[in-house]
Amino acid sequence: MSTTDITKGESKETTSSKELVSIFVMGKKYEVPKNLTIMKAMEYAGYKYIRGCGCRGGICGACGTVYRKPGDYHIYVGLACQTVVEDGMYLTQLPFFPANRATYNLEAIGSDPEEVYKKYPELFRCVACNACTKVCPMDISVMDYISAIKQGDFEKATELSFDCIQCGLCTVRCMGEMSQYHIAQMVRRVTGSKIKPKASHLKTMVDNIKTGRYTKAITDLKSMSEAQLRKVYPEREMEPTEAPEDWKPADTTYL
């Protein structure tokens, strides 16, 4: 059996299930195999994406989708590449939504929350309706990170907003008309660059490289033949997986 016999490219997999369900794409009915994601179901129906499709793996935020189910007043959301179709699903994708983004100079500002408030005064228009959290396909507590920002707790906001894929669905629903995900992006960068402690070992290493500490060792490696390299390579000492952070190798010649 060749390797290709047991693995098929993505194009083949959309034909797997024979059992069909009806979905309504922007109001128009299509019969598609159940078990497909919305994205693959739309491709099955004959759509070819330009917008509304990106990583196909749930991380890029290109395929935010809003849908309803028959006889149910609730609004449901999901990523088209991650959400499996259901019979009677009534959907549209929202591949883009105009959002307000402020330009700022990260180097010039400090960690004072006022810097963010100045750029995004609409933060304080939040009426705590929680529609943003309800609509988030990544189950992020959007309202809670907005409150954390308003309270000046940027580290908490960074943590709460970390899985944001910037699909913009929160912004679509916001009564205060803010673009939560752009605000969170600015906050995370302020946190990463100005609030969290710096890695001192990083600076040390960069300086050591600049002063040429490893230049000779690497020049020697570069001049080695393949045979010589094959000898040196297996001899390198392995840091054990379970070794503590301060583990040191026995041989320190090339450190």
Partner 1 sequence: MPYPQELKELIKVVEKTRPERVARKKKNEEVPFLSLEERKKILDYHPDFREEGRREIKVGPSKGYRIAHEMVDMLEAKSRVNPDLVDLSQVDYETDVLVIGGGGAGTSAALLAQEQGAKVIIATKLRHGDANTMMAEGGIQAATKGWKDSPYYHYLDVMGGGHFKNIPDLVDTLVTEAPDVILWLEKLGCNFSKFPDGTLKTLHGGGTCRKRMHYAADITGAEIMRTIRDEARNRSQDIKVIEFSPAVELILNENGECAGALLYNMETEEYFIVKAKAVIMATGGSGRLHIQNFMTTNHYGATADGIVIAYRAGVGICFLHTVQYHPTGVVFPEQAEGILITEKFRGSGANLINIDGQQFVNEREPRDVESAAVIKECVEKGKGIPTPTGKFGVWLDSPMVDTLSGEGTVEREFPGKFILYKRFGIDISKEPMLIYPTLHYQNGGLEYKSTGETTLPGLFVAGEVGGGVHGQNRLMGNSLLDILVFGRIAGKSAADYAKSRSDMGILTLDHVRAYHKGLEDADIETDRVAPMLLPDYTLPHIKERQLTSCYVGTLR
Name which position in 48, 71, 74, 110 contacts partner 1 (CB under 8 A).
Answer: 48
CB of 216 to partner 1, least distance (A): 10
For residue 25, list its beta bridge partners.
Answer: 28, 91
Which residue's CB is nearer to partner 1, number 66 or number 161?
Answer: 161
CB of 111 to partner 1, least distance (A): 11
Which residue's CB is nearer to partner 1, number 73 or number 233?
Answer: 233
For residue 22, list its beta bridge partners.
Answer: 31
For residue 66, list its beta bridge partners.
Answer: 77, 92
Could you give the CA distance from residue 77 to residue 162 in angstroms, rounded to a whole number?
19
Query: Which range binds partner 1 by CB under 8 A, 36-44, 117-125, 145-153, 170-178?
Result: 36-44
Query: Which range binds partner 1 by CB under 8 A, 51-59, 115-123, 128-136, 169-177?
Result: 51-59
CB of 147 to partner 1, least distance (A): 20
Q: Does 19 bind partner 1 (CB under 8 A)?
A: no
CB of 3 to partner 1, least distance (A): 5
Q: Minimal CA–CA distance to 157: which of 178, 175, 179, 142? A: 142
CB of 207 to partner 1, least distance (A): 9
For residue 30, list its beta bridge partners.
Answer: 23
Q: Does 192 bind partner 1 (CB under 8 A)?
A: yes
Which residue shows structure tokens 């549209």? 92
> What is the footprint of partner 1 within residues 89-148 (CB under 8 A)?
101, 103-106, 138-139
Which residue's CB is nearer to partner 1, number 70 or number 192?
Answer: 192
What is the CB neighbour count within 10 angstroms for residue 214?
A: 14
> What is the footprint of partner 1 within residues 211-230 (CB under 8 A)?
213-214, 217-218, 221-222, 226, 229-230
> What is the footprint of partner 1 within residues 67-96 (CB under 8 A)?
82, 84
Angle between helices 180-190 and 154-161 (to 10 degrees): 120
Which residue's CB is nearer to partner 1, number 151 or number 208?
Answer: 208
Q: Does 175 bind partner 1 (CB under 8 A)?
A: no
